[in-house]
Amino acid sequence: MKEPLDLTPLTQSIHDYLLSYLSPFWTTTVEWVIIGVLLIAFVALSVMGLVYIERKVAAFFQLRLGPNRVGKWGLLQTLADFLKLLMKEHITSKNADKFLFNLAPFIIVIASFLAIGAIPFALGLQAMDINIGLFYITAASSIGVLGILIGGWAGNNKYSLIGALRSGAQVVSYEISAVLSLLTIVVLSGSLQLSTIIESQSDGWWIFKGHLPVFIAFIMFLIAGTAETNRGPFDLAEAESELTAGFHTEYSGIKFAMFFLAEYVNLFIIAAVGATVFLGGWMPFHIGNWAAFNEVMNYIPPVIWFFFKVGFVIGLIMWFKWTFPRLRIDQLLVLEWKYLLPINLVNLIVVAFIAMMGWYF
C-alpha cells in the first residue's frame, strides 16, 4: 500500500544540510528565521485568499457577483484594498491612551501567529510538534482577547468600550466550551500532541469512529469556535448595526488592517484545529477495508487533504455568518452557560465512558 507523502525527509535534509555548515545553535536560529518568514508569507497569502473567498462566498449567498473589477475575476481586489489601507492616515483619537492604542493590534496579531506555529499542515510539515500542542494552541489563541479589550479601552470611544467588554465576556465563556469539546478527542486518543491525535485517526477520522458524541462535540466546537473568532452570528464585539464597528471603531489604516488580518488568521486556526482533531488533519479519507479506494485516496498529497478539510470547515462557518441574525449579549451567555456547557460536560462523560469500554472502532 502506498504511504501518504511524507515530508519529514525533506525537512530533515534541510536540517542536515544546514548542520553541515553551521554550529547547532546557528542551525536552529536559521531554521527559526526560515520558519518565521515562511509563516508570515503563508499568513499574508492565505489571509488575502480568505478575504477574497469570503467576499465571493458572501456575494453568491446574496445573489451578487462579488469583487470582479481588479484583476481577473477580481482576484487582485484584496491586494488593492491592502495597499489602500497601507496608505491611509493613522488617526489617534483625542485623549486616547497612545501606548495601549498602538499596542493592541500587535497583541492580537502576535497571538494568532503564536497559535499558527503549532498547526500540522502535512505529514512532517509542522513548525513545532510539542507534546501539549492542542493545549498550546488554545492557550495562545486566547491571548487575542487581551488585544480586543485593550484596543476597545484605549480608543476613548464608548462604542469600542462596549464592544470590548462584550467580547471579553464572550471569549472567556466560549473558551470553556471550545476546550471541553476538544477534550473529548483528547480522551479518545489519549494525547495532547497533535501528531499523535492525527496518527490515531489513520484508520478513520474521529468524527466517524466516535459515534454521535464526537459528532455533537464537533458541532459544539464549531459554535464555540465561531464565537471565539468573533464572527457572525456571534459578532457582538463588532456588531456594526449597533456599535458601528465595535472595538476597532477608532482604528484606521494599517492598524485596522492588523485587526482584520488577525480575524482571518483566527478563522483559519479554528478551522485547522477542527479539521485536525475531528476530521483527521492531513489523513486521507479511508473507508474500512476498501483497499483499492484507500489506495487512490493516498495518492492525493496530505497538504491538499488538509486544506480541503480546512476549507470545508471555513465554508461552514461562513455559511453560518451569512445566514443567521446576531444574538444579543445576554442570549449569547445563556446559550453558553445553559446549553453548550452542560451538553459538553455530559458529552465528555459519555465519551470518557466510551473510551473506557473501548466502544469505538
Q: Minimal distance in Å, beta carbon 8 to other proteins? A: 39
Cα 165 → chain centroid: 22
Q: Which residues in the 164-183 window bind other proteins by CB under 8 A?
A: 166
Which of residues 68, 191, 252, 294 is near other proteins by CB under 8 A? 68
Site membership for other proteins, residue 322 (CB under 8 A): yes
Cα angle 160, 164, 165; round to 5: 120
- Given the rule CB under 8 A, which of 56-64, 91-99, 262-270, 295-303 is the region that contacts other proteins? 56-64
- Given the rule CB under 8 A, which of 62-70, 198-206, 207-215, 347-355 is the region that contacts other proteins? 62-70
Which is closer to other proteins, CB of 124 or CB of 274? 274
How far apart are alpha carbons 10 and 12 in whole angstroms? 5
- Given the rule CB under 8 A, which of 25-33, 154-162, 186-194, 264-272 is the region that contacts other proteins? 154-162
Site membership for other proteins, residue 61 (CB under 8 A): yes
CB-based contacts of 162: which residues, under 8 Å, 6+ apart?
152, 243, 246
How far apart are alpha carbons 284 and 132 in whole angstroms? 24
Residue for grid cell 457582538: 236
Query: Helices 24-61 and 8-21 meet at what angle, rounded to 10?
Result: 140
Which is closer to other proteins, CB of 202 or CB of 323? 323
How far apart are alpha carbons 218 and 78 in whole angstroms? 31
How far apart are alpha carbons 52 and 197 in whole angstroms? 32
Which of residues 54, 326, 344, 355 is near other proteins by CB under 8 A? 326
Q: Which residues in the 203-242 window bind other proteins by CB under 8 A?
A: 232-233, 235-236, 239-242
Site membership for other proteins, residue 339 (CB under 8 A): yes
Q: Which helix (H) or strand (E) holds 107?
A: helix 98-116
Site membership for other proteins, residue 346 (CB under 8 A): no
Which of residues 9, 24, 325, 358 is near other proteins by CB under 8 A? 325
Are the beta carbons of 235 and 273 closer than 8 angstroms? no
- Dig out the grid coordinates for 228 from the structure: 471565539
Which residue ranges make up the site for other proteins (CB under 8 A)? 57-58, 60-65, 68, 158-159, 162, 166, 232-233, 235-236, 239-244, 319-320, 322-331, 339
